[in-house]
Homo-oligomer: A and B are copies of this chain.
């Protein structure tokens, strides 16, 4: 282990990570993009979590500012704006998966399908690749 001043190293990257996507709503937006395939403003709005328009706009702005997501005009439907995860955003997959594993283990009412959790435990890298492919 690495030490610093006689203690284990402090882990400030954790604070950094929290600052960049640790907000409740940011988490849920990233989750929706990563696992639910959501791409459009109104899809996030209708996600059923009850986020309001100004808050959503603010979080999308922040996430974009931090380079976690990007927005373009949808090439297919030119009237729509298309949000997607940047590579920096996709690198959050392991963080999300770790939270899924912990949450599903400790939530008695988890909605996580047993099959998914088993796959996640047995072969997280496979799951990561699957999600990455889905996001292309």
The chain A residues found within 8 Å of chain B, CB to CB, are 1-2, 4, 7-18, 20, 22, 24, 27-28, 31, 34-37, 67, 88, 91-92, 94-107, 110-113, 115-116, 119, 127, 130-131, 134
**Complex contact B112–A12 (CB within 8 A):** yes
Determine how close the nearest CB of chain B comes to the CB of A125; give it in whole angstroms: 11
**Complex contact B4–A113 (CB within 8 A):** yes
**Complex contact A22–B11 (CB within 8 A):** no
Closest 4 CB pairs of A and B: A13-B103, A17-B103, A16-B103, A2-B116
**Complex contact A8–B22 (CB within 8 A):** no
**Complex contact B31–A27 (CB within 8 A):** no
Measured between beta carbons, the chain B residues less than 8 angstroms from A127 are 1
Determine how close the nearest CB of chain B comes to the CB of A51; give it in whole angstroms: 13
Determine how close the nearest CB of chain B comes to the CB of A43; give it in whole angstroms: 10
